[in-house]
Amino acid sequence: MDGDREAIEALVYGYAAAIDAGDLETFGSLFADATMAIAGSPVEVRGAEAVRALVTRGLHWYDGTPRTRHITTNLVVALGPDGDRAMATSSVVVHQALADFPLQVILVAHYDDEFERVGGAWRFARRVLTYDLLGDLSRHFTKPVPDSVGSAGR
């Protein structure tokens, strides 16, 4: 069981590390057989290419990275009774800094994740991102966040 939790934690933390590093190949591969959705919006994509495209088009890129640091915390993993499915929740605080944009928190959100074990390895099955608090996203997203998304923090 501890190995299962560690493998799931590695997926959750690997997501943050890959996006912050601009490693879109690894980032997309995490969702090769999974769906990513944004709560309160029509956004829902499936598979590595679609997830990579969403992030490539949706974020501003500087020096090959979005110049962010995702701090993922409050991770709670619940293994399913069959041992091959799991769920997790976690919180994320995203910081951003640029030469002309001082270091600041730009958003707080939470993830609701589903995982499945296939061939002995854990993988994402579904991730739903819910925006809780929004800061200055003008240097992060290429389009404004719809009013229906993240309204709790406005």
CA 43/CA 37 separation, integer angstroms = 6
Which residue in this structure is represented by tokens 């928190």?
105
Give the pLDDT mean for 8-23: 97
Q: For the whole prediction, is pTM greater than 0.85?
A: yes
Query: Helix, strand, coil shares of the chain as percentages rounded to 5?
Result: 25, 45, 30
Per-residue pLDDT at 127 exceeds 90: yes
| Predicted confidence (pLDDT) per residue in 57-66, tens digit | 999 999 999 9
The residue ranges of every structural domain in the chain are: 2-153
Question: Is the pLDDT at 16 greater than 90, yes or no?
Answer: yes
Token reading at 38: 């944004």
Q: Where are the alpha helices (DSSP H) in the chain?
A: 2-21, 24-29, 48-58
pLDDT above 50: residue 154: no
Q: What's the mean pLDDT when you consider all of the chain?
A: 94
The DSSP secondary-structure symbol of 30 reads T
pLDDT of 30 higher than 60: yes
Which band of pLDDT confidence, cut at 50, 70 and 90, is reported for residue 144?
Answer: confident
Residue 40 amino acid letter:
G
HSE toward the beta carbon, residue 125, CA cutoff 13 A? 13
pLDDT band at residue 2, thresholds of 50, 70 and 90? confident
CATH topology of domain 2-153: Nuclear Transport Factor 2; Chain: A, (3.10.450)
List pLDDT tens digits, range 95-113: 999 999 999 999 999 999 9
The continuous run of DSSP H or E covering 109 comes out as strand 101-118
Q: For the residues of 36-49, what is the DSSP string, one character each?
A: EEETTSS-EEESHH
